[in-house]
A and B are shown apart, each in its own frame.
Chain A
Amino acid sequence: MKLATDIGGTFTDLVYLDETTGDYFLAKSLSTPPHFSRGIMDAIHKSDLDPGAVTGFVHGATVVINALTERKGARTALVTTEGCRDVLEIGRANRPDIYNMRFRKQPPFVPRELRFEIAERMNYKGEVVTELDMRTVDTVAKQIEAEACEAVAVCLLHSYANPDHELKVAARLRELLPNVLVTASSEITREWREYERTSTAALNAYVQPVAAAYLRQLATSLNEEGIEAPVDIMKSNGGTSSLDFVAEQPIHLVESGPVGGVIGAAALGKLIGEPNLITMDIGGTTAKCSLIENGDYKITTEYRIERDDRSAGYPIKAPVVDIVEIGAGGGSVAWIDVGGALKIGPRSAGASPGPASYGLGGTEPTVTDANLIAGRINPDYFLGGELKLDLAKARAAYQPIADALGVSIEETAIGVIRLANANMINALKLVSVRRGYDPREFALIAFGGGGSMHAVALASDLRVGKVIIPVAPGHFSAFGMMMSDAMQDYLLTALTSSVEESRGRVGTIFEDLESQAIDYFLAAGFDRGQIELIRSLDMRYNGQEHTVRVRVPDGELDFETLNDQFHAAHEKAYTFRLPSGVEIVNYHVSAVVPTTKPALAELPPGTGQPPLKSTRTVDFDTWGILESAVYERTDLFPGCIFHGPAIIEEAAASTVVPPGVRGTIDPIGNIVLTIGDEA
């Protein structure tokens, strides 16, 4: 039996799956910040499972992102090459908020008094320009001790090319400061650009004491429960690593939570034959979307936390699943700006006080309240009836906005839904149209508490013909974690001309990266035969700055084929190709040990029409206000056909099926909606 847990701001979700039967079970418990492992144990207790039968445990942790956003990490020092003390604070010097003449850069995670320089220098070829003066390291160690730092990051110039000095400094600091956790930048990434690498190392050091303690606590608690299965932790790259590894490099957990849904979508797509998917995860505070092409999700290496149109954010050079997140979720608040225009979010009423209709003290009108007024949510069946929604409170919250706009409450509610959809469409366009993809070649998979309510409207606007609402959309992230593979990424910057003469160098670099990958997995107890190695290269035209990632074909390397692939990829991303030389910037080895993917049990097919639960009046916006069929999701069976206008209710979600949309249930229980001509 395999277990996965996903911790959200409000709930801790647990999914466990019997690998022999394909049956799975769900549990939810309240999250228990800051001691999240208690919430996990609560969910385990709720689900009444046999600890001895647990063979695998996958966990998506929010401890790292929380420590970063709440600035609750360790007192951290930074050691750099002479002349580079201020690199972390200068950043890239950009001003995203371009008309703000009082713009303030976000402060660095390590203040200047804790940033120390040592005497040494490499050049970009990895040759020593100035020998490492170990006495300067010893002096710095004393200062770090005197400053009572709990963690230290070391990032020296050109350590991506030759980490020798950096590793010597880290070793010396570990020896002199046994109680201080030490991060060397090259242990996490061998990519160039000193600010980005320094930031990555500094953030890793900053969260390491907190994350390591959390992970140890989790391991202990599981042990006490009698669960002895190995613990795998969900990383931002969509794969898992051992607990020991992420305790050393916790920065890989920064998007540990949100990636689950994307992995789940990719895995589900493979099961049901939908290799091209746009994912939409609508939660309480945000909506997140991403794109899956030919079964593969996209990875970004340009990730930054706290970046938006007014802030530069902090770069983390670790591979992260490419997700676009916007501040439009169920709890997002509707408001009128000073010019009299209606706006939504990014502020959210969150889980507490929550939307006005929750009756938990919230008085502000939210998207959830609008969906309730429009008849799209059953007030008596929210969270399976656990929370009774108060329509009168939702209406009262919208009264002032309706008055200001001079329209009815009902019109206001549908207008808010329309605006929220417009915001989400823009995010969906960012991952699709803006990156050269035609949405019509994709299906939309929607999950999270709000996904299924907005999905068809979004799909129609994007001209997507098919919408999939997976089973248990509220638990989908945890489900996805269970489908993830063990995965390690190894990256190295080494400028190389992409020509036949480079064959030897390219081979040597890849072999070196691969042996690191193999060493990791062998040490983790896997066999060589289980390890899949994927080579790719970040390439560009000579003299360009931006690169395009190209997967290296298996077998003997053929530079002509490789360059052809690059030209094609460049044309896809940037619409043109150049007749100029090509060079390699980064080498990348992704090592994967696939887990056995449990086959999901098929539901018994039925015949005839699904039973009607009830009917009610629902506002379908442009499709009109209509008397709508209401179905209970568990009453629907594979092969059944239903048509909009309809609402499908389940404990944690409500699916809106407008007129002209045809629905069915696939053999494993997903709702499949077809829009437009084929419906």
Chain B
Amino acid sequence: MTATTLDPFTIEIIKDGLNVIGDEMFVSLQRTSKSPIIYEVLDYCCGITDEKGQLLAQGNGVAGFLGTLTFAVQSVLDKFGPENLKPGDIFITNDPYTGGGTHLSDVSLVMPIFYRDELVAFSANKAHWTEVGGKDPGSWTTDSTDVFQEGLQFPCVRLFSAGEPNEALFDVIGANVRTPDMSLGDAWAQVASCRLAGLRFQDLCDKHGLPAVKEAIDILLDYGEAMVRQELGKLPSGVYEADDWIDDDGITSEPHHCQVKVTVTADKFIADFTGSAPQTQGPINCTWTGLVSAVRLIFKALTDPHIPANEGTFRALEVICPPGTVLTAERPAPVSTYWETMIFAADLVWKALAPAVPDRLSAGHFLSVCGDVTFTIHPDTGKPAILVEPNAGGWGASIDQDGTSGLVCVGDGETYILPLEVTEAIYGIQVDRYEFNLAPGGEGKYQGGRGLVRDYRILSDQGGFITATFGRHKFHPWGVDGGRNGSMNAVQIRFADGREPVTVGKTARYPLKKGDVARLITGSGGGWGDPAARDKDAVRADLRAGLISAETARDVYGLTGEKA
């Protein structure tokens, strides 16, 4: 890089300007989307890259999408070549196996940005469409066996050609999804967001000149790298390993073993998943993009969670995993609920590093998105009511603090759990309780945060059903340094007729009658350190708050001489 000709303030202002573009794209998409999963759950991301596809800035609502846009842009460059891109082109892709795809529901748009006829950047976004067709309403399911059952595939093609919409493609989408208004509405919202970024980027060039912007971009990427290398240098060098089990694939009950070897040096961070289980028959498979995002997520947490992400911040990172594993599945493996395995991969790296980097990482958390689809007929309107939502659970303790109770999992982020009052009014069920799960688990010098219990009582004479995928139903959230493991996630069906309750982790369309209760249980996070070393005043406080029983205080924490 040549010596800088810009003053440090202009550089800083252009850098900020680039980050603001990512944020502005994000807000624009939220404001114009017609789908609750976008404007409420924020299941999307937006960003800009340079002309080579290097990420410059990204706006996120959830943690799971970190760095996926780069791959989408590069797939456009690889397929078409930069010389064949025209102003006004917009490309669409959701291929899970190449080009930045994850599952078919996550659809990416990529737009080249030109300044005075020169290709200077790309804007891109990726959003979870409510519907992309496939065998089940809502497209994602727990029992598909190949990708063709999961919806419409967009193999990186032009949605717009030099500003002209590809009407044929719009018609094909409209005919193949169950909610064309929502899905096409989201496509248009994504288009608006990409175009806004194009305008803002051109504004930046108008104001500061293209050479200044290019120079600031180089500095931005180098700065990101430098910030991360500073932090990387503080991590203890070494080789760290972890392994764990995925519950099952939704088709058979067999667990799947995965492992990671992380090598940390002063200037490199290598995560090697070689040896992990082969891809599965059921739709839990994750592909390369998801795996890289998962590792980036923990890498970012490990270095500095507040440095704005760009390509430079990931230069020191390398991910290794042979193709064909459950983490790097190949066509046509089913990938519908890939997210559970993606965050599992993040958790593996986390587990390997937590003891060594306690100032950045806690013990294991409840891990699963704990997604449920609860269906009934609203007793007051007589209309179908479909509740689709994530659930919150307990986070792990750390070396110097208790874990937090009732938070969404690592794959989510600025995600809001529905209020009881809204749930009851809109979905016509009764929520009997929404409180901490006080089952044993996560005891330690520092205690893991509490999971939650949420009871859904069916009120409709016509009953209903529940579909759910609650991972970590068979294998516990992990404790550290003598801290006990956390408790597990589960869905428990409690019958009005007094039958013995049934407890499951994954279920598809479990029938519920009037008066039956689906109890959604999320686990507590793992503990940190020997419970016997817990501060006795803290034990007394937990006892007073009703968070632990007198027996636990005495038998686990060694509190003696107290009135129970």
Residue numbers of A with Cβ under 8 A of B are 82-87, 89-105, 111-113, 123-125, 129, 157-158, 160, 192-196, 310, 337-342, 405, 407, 411, 414-416, 418-419, 422, 426, 434, 495, 543-546, 573-576, 578
Contact = CB atoms under 8 A, between A and B. Distances in A.
A94 B32 contact: no
Contacts of B63: 98-99
Interface in B70-116: none
Contacts of B192: 575
Contacts of A194: 419-421
A434 B27 contact: yes
Interface stretch (B7-15, B119-127, B146-154): B7-15
Given A98-B62, A407-B8, A418-B13, A103 B407 contact: yes
Contact of A112 (B7, B297, B425, B545): B545
Contacts of A104: 401, 404
Contact of B401 (A82, A102, A434): A102
Most buried by B among A86, A97, A426: A86
Nearest to B229: A339
Contacts of B61: 98
A155 to B, nearest CB: 11
Contact of B422 (A193, A407, A434): A193
Interface stretch (B132-140, B274-282, B427-435, B490-498): B427-435
19 contacts: A83-B433, A90-B406, A90-B436, A94-B414, A94-B417, A95-B408, A96-B414, A98-B413, A99-B297, A100-B305, A103-B395, A112-B546, A125-B380, A157-B420, A192-B421, A338-B227, A339-B223, A411-B7, A546-B40
A82 B430 CA distance: 13
Nearest to B357: A101
Contacts of B509: none
A578 B32 CA distance: 12
Contact of A101 (B36, B226, B362, B408): B362
B435 A83 contact: yes
A91 B421 contact: no
Contacts of B31: 573-575
B416 interface: yes
A124 B421 contact: yes
Classify the secondary structure of A's interface with B.
Answer: loop
Contacts of A95: 407-408, 412-415
Contacts of A101: 298, 301, 305, 350, 360-362, 410
B226 A113 contact: no
Nearest to B547: A112
A285 B415 CA distance: 31
B13 A419 contact: yes
Contact of A84 (B34, B361, B434): B434
Most buried by A among B66, B407, B421, B430: B421
Contact of B20 (A97, A100, A310, A426): A426
Classify the secondary structure of B's interface with A.
Answer: mixed
A623 to B, nearest CB: 16
A411 to B, nearest CB: 7
A414 B10 CA distance: 11
A495 B297 contact: no
Nearest to A309: B306
A102 B360 contact: yes
B335 interface: no
B185 interface: yes
Given A86-B435, A575-B32, A415 B419 contact: no
Nearest to A195: B419
A578 B350 CA distance: 44
A193 B544 CA distance: 28
Interface in B440-481: 452, 455
**Which 8 A-B pairs have CB atoms at the shortest separation, nearest pair first?**
A83-B433, A415-B9, A93-B392, A98-B413, A99-B305, A112-B545, A90-B406, A124-B425
B16 A422 contact: yes
A640 to B, nearest CB: 34
B425 A578 contact: no
B405 interface: yes
Given A101-B350, A341-B12, A545-B40, A94 B416 contact: yes
B551 interface: no
B376 interface: no
A422 B13 contact: yes
Contacts of A573: 31
A133 B97 CA distance: 60
B261 interface: no
B262 to A, nearest CB: 15
B128 interface: no
B349 to A, nearest CB: 11
Interface string B300-323: 110001110000000000000000
B546 to A, nearest CB: 6
Interface string B218-256: 000001001100100000000000000000000000000
Nearest to B398: A102
Contacts of A96: 413-414
B32 A574 contact: yes
Contacts of A98: 60-63, 305, 413-414
